[in-house]
Amino acid sequence: MIKIQSTSRNSALGEPIILRQTTKSRLIFLPEIVNNVENPDCCVKGAFIYQVKLPSGEWELFKTLDLNKLKDGEWVKISIKTEELKKLIVDLDKYYNIYEKFGIQQGSKEFILTDDNIKPILEQILEKKGNFLKLLEKGGPEILEKLLTWLSVTSDTELVVNKLQNLKIDNLNKINSLLGVSNIKKLLELWEKNKENPDEEFWQQTFTNHSWILSQIFSHPIVILNDKAFVGGKAITDKGGKIIDFLFQNKITSNVILIEIKNPNTKLLGHEYRGVYSISEELSGTINQVLNYREELNKNYFSLLEASDNEFVSFNPKCLIIAGCIKAEINNKVKLKTLEIFRNDIKSVEVISFDELHEKISMMLNLLEANK
């Protein structure tokens, strides 16, 4: 908000622009808007003023120095720091804009975003790229975040949709691409910082927050049906329930997919045996675990369907395990051959490593950045 007080029909004083301040003194610039008939673009003038604070807390002006009375050899120097000069330029630009849009208003006026002036002010902000960057610089990234949050939760969705429809398709694609790139970059940064994190709960939560990652593994469209999904297996004592990490379903056919998440440190291979390697106990145990979950799901399908709010089917459902890191563990051709033969031979369970999935997401990022 900027306050303007008219001093005549052709002039108005603005608020002091504080350039430098301590507990006892400060340097300000006092702007004044004027009607410059000969050169309307030159509509702002002002004065630098040095002030000291009185015991009452009020600021007192130093006595005016008449520069015309300086004697030979006498001079006055006022040094302005880079940050102070930038603040002065930015703040004075507001007064130029006020004069350009509204001229000199009589009396005391406060210029804020209202129904009357919000459009010209926003147009001015968005007219030039530099103006919008200044807005982000002053308000921080939170300005953009608040705007996007409002768009996502506003009840006036029809108005927003109508305005978006006026945008060119290419511009919408660029916005969507930009948001997608930002989201993927944040995820990859999180992934890089935790690539050796053995906490399975952390990875399960990460995939819950970014469930779209798992949809990139399959060639058909899938949506999350539930995380920490109960698939049956409880005894009469209410013990032994089977909980799968994720239960997805094909968006078209509604057939379910069982997904079990381990961690990047999970061993994929075991010991060497006569020129080949065995599958690790961790991986073979996880395979048996997820197959057992699938059996329980099929066995309890009708009771689970009756208790579910969502329709789904279970026709020989696919099972997926995300575990281990190939680059960190598979260091020779024999190990690679063993793993690939094993993975290609098990038809109902797909095993993908964390670094394979990471690479798939990185390729998606490269594609989006290329389109951007």
pLDDT 10s digits, 198-247 = 998 898 888 888 877 777 777 666 666 676 666 665 543 444 556 777 78
Q: Is the pLDDT of residue 40 over 70?
A: yes
* Domain encompassing residue 310: 190-371
Determine the pLDDT at residue 6.
92
Determine the pLDDT at residue 57.
82
Determine the pLDDT at residue 286.
92
The pLDDT-based confidence of 340 (bands split at 50, 70, 90) is: very high
Range picked from 5-19, 71-85, 99-113 for highest mean pLDDT: 5-19
Which pair of structure tokens corresponds to residue 120? 């010209």
Determine the pLDDT at residue 70.
75
Residues 194 and 90 in one domain: no
Q: Which tens digits make up the pLDDT trace of 155-193?
A: 555 655 665 556 555 555 555 555 567 777 888 888 888
Q: Give percent of the chain above pLDDT 90.
A: 24
Determine the pLDDT at residue 98.
86
Taken in order 139, 141, 142, 146, is the CA torsion positive or negative? positive
Residues 255 and 358 in one domain: yes
Residues 198 and 77 in one domain: no
Determine the pLDDT at residue 275.
83
Residues 236 and 365 in one domain: yes
Residue 98 counted as domain residue:
yes
Determine the pLDDT at residue 278.
93
Q: What is the mean pLDDT of the chain?
A: 79
Determine the pLDDT at residue 282.
93
Determine the pLDDT at residue 85.
92
Residues 108 and 196 in one domain: no
Contact 291, 319 (CB under 8 A): yes
Determine the pLDDT at residue 145.
62
Residue 171 counted as domain residue:
no
CATH code for position 247: 3.40.1350
Determine the pLDDT at residue 214.
78
Tell me how many domains the chain contains.
Answer: 2
Q: Is the pLDDT of residue 56 over 70?
A: yes
Determine the pLDDT at residue 236.
38
Determine the pLDDT at residue 337.
93
Q: Which tens digits make up the pLDDT trace of 101-129?
A: 888 988 988 776 555 555 666 566 656 66
Determine the pLDDT at residue 63.
62
Tell me, letter by letter, the H, E, C secondary structure of the chain.
CEEEEEEECCEEECCCEEEEECCCEEEEEEEEEECCCCCCCCCEEEEEEEEEECCCCCEEECCCCCHHHCCCCCCCCCCCCHHHHHHHHHHHHHHHHHHHHHCCCCCEEEECCCCCCHHHHHHHHHHCHHHHHHHHHHHCCHHHHHHHHHHHHCCCHHHHHHHHHCCCHHHHHHHHHHHHHHHHHHHHHHHHHCCCCCCHHHHHHHHHHCCHHHHCCCCCCEEEEEEEEECCCCCCCCCCCCEEEEEEEECCCCEEEEEEECCCCCCCEEEEECCEEEECHHHHHHHHHHHHHHHHHHHCHHHHHHHCCCCCEEEEEEEEEECCCHHHHCCCHHHHHHHHHHHHHCCCEEEECHHHHHHHHHHHHHHHHHHC
Mean pLDDT of 63-89: 80
Residue 118 counted as domain residue:
yes
Residue 138 counted as domain residue:
no
Determine the pLDDT at residue 312.
83
Mean pLDDT of 145-150: 61
Residue type, 275: G
C-alpha closest to that of 263 among 279, 281, 283, 249: 283
Q: Which tens digits make up the pLDDT trace of 256-305?
A: 888 899 999 999 999 988 888 999 999 999 999 899 888 888 888 888 78
Residue 200 counted as domain residue:
yes
Residues 338 and 256 in one domain: yes
pTM of the complete model? 0.52
Determine the pLDDT at residue 17.
92
Q: Is the pLDDT of residue 195 over 50?
A: yes
Residue 147 counted as domain residue:
no
